């Protein structure tokens, strides 16, 4: 490869690094120590995320997820990622560990947010946030106010998974990705629990 004598300043390198997709950013962690430290810096990462959210970053937006539920008729149930111009690349994904043994009634809630999907199991209090790219996952703990106990006639219904931009903006705490998860647990008494999570799913 050709060599040239341009060693650029850190602030200029920063303006370039802010525009990289996440995968490249993580890969370039081991370029040198100062970059690695930069990627640990909360200010840098907050700038990175706000850039990521506001710019039309393609790395996640051109991937669709398709869930084929497990029923008697479906020969190939599971979660697939679809990518490519015509979504012609279809890859079957392995469930994250909490669902590997029992994948009955799997569902995906809402949309993909910063590469994170929200998986749940029908009629069960099992909800997991999962980043299929990094394979990181987080099991959502049961309601802090009351541990749900499953009775036969009880039913859990999940209502949504979204990104709370306002909260994130106000919180000024961009290291933590502001995630907003609404779970409603319909007990006989009719009870709704809203989870608000600030989880750093992508280190």
Partner 1 sequence: MAAEKSSIKIITLIAADGSVFEVEPNIVKEMKTVQSYIDELDQNTVSIPLPNVFGNDLAMIIEYCKKHASEEETKEAKEEFDFEFVKRMKSDDKLRLLQAASYLNMESFLQFMAKAIAAEIENQSVEFVRDYFQIESDFTPEEEAELRKENEWAFK
By CB under 8 A, residue 97 contacts partner 1: no
By CB under 8 A, residue 33 contacts partner 1: yes
Strand (E) positions, 55-132?
A: 64-68, 78-83, 89-93, 106-113, 116-121, 127-131
By CB under 8 A, residue 58 contacts partner 1: no
Q: How far apart (Å, rounded) are the C-alpha atoms in residues 40 and 200?
A: 12
By CB under 8 A, residue 54 contacts partner 1: no
By CB under 8 A, residue 57 contacts partner 1: no
Span interacting with partner 1, options 75-83, 132-140, 163-171, 188-196, rule CB under 8 A: 132-140
Q: How far apart (Å, rounded) are the C-alpha atoms in residues 86 and 146?
A: 46
Please pick, from the candidates 4, 73, 153, 188, the single residue that binds partner 1 as defined by CB under 8 A: 4
Q: Are 123 and 156 in contact (CB under 8 A)?
A: yes
CA distances from 100 to 39, 104, 121, 126 (A): 32, 10, 12, 13
Using CB under 8 A as the binding criterion, the count of chain residues that bind partner 1 stands at 33
Instruction: List contacts with partner 1 (CB under 8 A).
Output: 1-9, 11-13, 15-21, 23-24, 26-33, 36, 133-135
């Amino acid at each position: 490869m050709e060599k040239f004598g341009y060693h650029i300043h850190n602030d200029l390198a920063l303006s370039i690094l802010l525009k990289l997709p996440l995968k490249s950013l993580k890969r370039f962690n081991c370029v040198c120590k100062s970059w690695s430290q930069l990627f640990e810096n909360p200010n840098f990462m907050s700038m990175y995320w706000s850039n990521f959210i506001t710019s039309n970053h393609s790395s996640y937006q051109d991937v669709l997820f398709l869930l084929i539920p497990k029923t008697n008729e479906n020969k190939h149930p599971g979660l697939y990622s679809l990518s490519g111009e015509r979504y012609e690349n279809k890859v079957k994904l392995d469930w994250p560990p909490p669902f590997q043994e029992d994948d009955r009634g799997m569902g995906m809630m809402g949309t993909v947010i910063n590469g994170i999907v929200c998986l749940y199991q029908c009629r069960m209090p099992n909800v997991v946030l999962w980043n299929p790219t990094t394979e990181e996952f987080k099991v959502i703990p049961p309601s802090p106010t009351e541990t749900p106990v499953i009775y036969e006639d009880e039913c859990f219904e999940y209502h949504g998974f979204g990104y709370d931009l306002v909260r994130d903006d106000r919180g000024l705490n961009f290291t933590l990705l502001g995630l907003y998860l609404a779970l409603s647990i319909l007990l006989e008494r009719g009870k709704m629990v809203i989870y608000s999570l600030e989880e750093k799913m992508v280190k």
